[in-house]
Chains A and B, each alone.
Chain A
């Protein structure tokens, strides 16, 4: 085909002028192309969302296909990474996340996902760094809850690796931001207990119980903290609210009740009650000594193993109520004897029961 001949100026002018329809045409083509790609990406992304819960492998392919149509859809790339994590492809998930991270290092969601991967690998250093980045990062929605979740996960990881002090500082960081949700508060308190921060934990648990007095977990946990701290009255109250069923708490409750019931030095007791309690303590000790003197394995007619304590016990038993009421030193001696007997460290004596443990606790508190 022969074109008419023009001079250079005209050709250049025509070339520049023709750019307008060329741009318009290309714009039309690109607009339709974009719509088509966007629609396909949306379709595959939606399919991925559907598959994510029950078929993560299929979801991986779906999100990959969505990305092939729209590589800059970072949400799909993040969902792909999550699908890969669910489908147990951690290396590929990490690679996808690192690509996203390179573009959005301050994205909380990406950092949290990377932290979880590092935590799975046992890489505490990287995990904590990513958790902190997630806490400091930006979130599209639910920022407060997500940041709290990041801190909690970080604390759990640190606890699992024995880094109690760092875990405590993570948890202390979220105390002021906790919602008015008794369950959440209780779970944070439980972590504080694991981190060795009993007093902070107990304060949180009181908060949780104030919000929901029927929170048995909070009550049980608070009871255990109170028991460990020697607040047996408090422990008894918490355990009663908790209606505990686990063996450990039950034992703690029994011991707490015994400590309260046996303590002859408790404030506000009249003398007769004091003496009565002392004598009861002495009888508990006597039972213990009996088990120690004549263990099941001992042959008949074997000599007593603790004759001195036996003699002292006999003497103490002979003291009358009146003598004990009048003579405070005698009362102290009785209790000292009871404690000495309970302190015998001998495997032949058999296990300590709740009352023995209660006496030992009283012994540790010391005679007045």
Chain B
């Protein structure tokens, strides 16, 4: 391999190379992270799915104490999931995530999740990837703008390796962290995600995250059940987000010495619950697999959903490092399977496989809690490997998203960032911000358009009847020009008044403005001329309006007044 980088390599090309390297390192880190979690779980709780009484009571609480000590004393930046920390690196800290945070996140999350705290490894993996990328970007002395984006690139790599799902990772980072499809960054994000997944699969195999029976729609009326799942999922999402949003600041407001105890208390509570429901321990992927294979009745499924919601709330609000992705999927799987189990009793012949409901439930809660609708849809398609599942996924996820938005104004990550005092941009608000077009701001052509074929004298007479300072001149043949009032009057004194106005006006360079163009592009064009014609796309000779800077400003003034 030729390692030489020619001096002519652009920043963008360097970013792509860095993305691949970051992807590989992130993949390796995530492989080790997953092994560390499992290694510690085996040491602490044993190999059985139902840990023994003393272990299950002592381990989560005891390790919670150690984790709290590590977080407060040594790694203060590793609290929480890691998504907002990555966003903060992008928007506040110029792409900076310390390597100490990477190490701290790795150790504390592995301890917490391995000991049974009800959190998942995906968000920490995201932050670990972002941290590795940040460290490499700093070493390479990337420009400030590139360094900012290198953290999300690493985040995509970390998440892709954790989920074994590159499309999901790319979409999540674009949808939730970066917020826009920027071509330069998109390539790097995709490269990082792919290289990390390849690395991860190299070591751990290409088994999908979930192995489920094939999906099929038993009867079209099943879609109604999926719609009900969406509405219930939206409701559960609201409960979870409100619970976290309410309890987290209250626990943070307690005296600092209690912060050492909070993860331990959460661990003890989870341990007590696990005496009867060991499925709530840790990320819970084994229990999700069982739910997808019809291992539980509907009462058990509902109980697991509720208990996981409470356990995750306890772990998360206590400041334990760990992610929300896996618990969200767990709750969704249980809820989806519960809906299926109930439906089977109501309409036995019209219910599809329970695994499909569990999968779609995962996407539903993902859409409702994390409010990343695109990611939630494609995640389920990617992890199930079944495109035909997309219809119920879209129905259920959309309803959950709509219900969640209706009753919970801000998404969870926005709430958390505001609680932490970092006002990070809300991707949801940016996605839904109104985009103005030229059509919204343009005015009619009356009073400021002159006919170029007329003599200059008659044009001056027409201009005197109008109030504007700049006039649009139709030059014929689909061409347009413009002339200010002062220039027109100057023509009167210097030129023959019988000459046609076209002889004194130069045509505008194309393209003209079109009604559907964004205001942003119109403003760029208005830098050159004070007034521009807005023409019909199919017939450039037909002027449908005019746009000036004043028109644009008036549009935003009206918008603000309405707001």
Contact = CB atoms under 8 A, between A and B. Distances in A.
Interface string B353-367: 111000000000000
B234 to A, nearest CB: 27
B524 interface: no
A26 B24 CA distance: 12
Contacts of B140: 8, 11-12
A26 B31 contact: yes
Given A3-B139, A33-B35, A68-B286, A94 B214 contact: no
Interface string B17-40: 110010011001001100100110
Interface in A46-73: 61, 64-65, 67-69, 71-72
A98 B214 contact: yes
A72 B307 CA distance: 29
Given A8-B141, A11-B140, A16 B47 contact: no
Contact of A64 (B38, B39, B49): B49
Interface string A84-97: 00000101101110
A19 B286 contact: no
A200 interface: no
A233 to B, nearest CB: 56
B204 interface: yes
B512 to A, nearest CB: 45
A27 interface: yes
Interface stretch (B69-77, B288-296, B452-460): B288-296
B21 A12 contact: yes
A95 B357 CA distance: 13
Given A8-B14, A95-B293, A65 B35 contact: no
The interface centre, meaning the residue of A19, A44, A64, A95 with most chain B CB atoms within 10 A of its CB, is A95
A95 B205 contact: no
Contacts of A92: 293-295
Interface string A1-31: 0010010110111011001001100110110
A129 to B, nearest CB: 15
A68 B213 CA distance: 17
A64 B290 contact: yes
Interface residues of A, number: 41
A22 B28 contact: yes
A351 B141 CA distance: 110
Contact of B25 (A22, A67, A102): A22
A30 B1 contact: no
Given A40-B47, A65-B48, A95-B355, A13 B211 contact: no
A8 B24 CA distance: 18
A71 B24 CA distance: 25
A102 B28 CA distance: 31
Nearest to B136: A15
Contact of B203 (A19, A26, A68, A94): A26
Contact of A23 (B21, B28, B292): B28
B213 A95 contact: yes
Contacts of B18: 12
Given A8-B141, A30-B203, A92-B294, A15 B21 contact: yes
A95 B3 contact: no
Interface of A: 3, 6, 8-9, 11-13, 15-16, 19, 22-23, 26-27, 29-30, 33, 36-37, 40, 43-44, 61, 64-65, 67-69, 71-72, 89, 91-92, 94-96, 98-99, 101-103
Given A6-B139, A11-B139, A89-B294, 5 more contacts: A22-B28, A29-B32, A95-B292, A102-B212, A102-B213
| A-B residue pairs, 7 tightest by C-beta | A98-B213, A95-B293, A95-B294, A92-B294, A91-B294, A30-B203, A68-B286
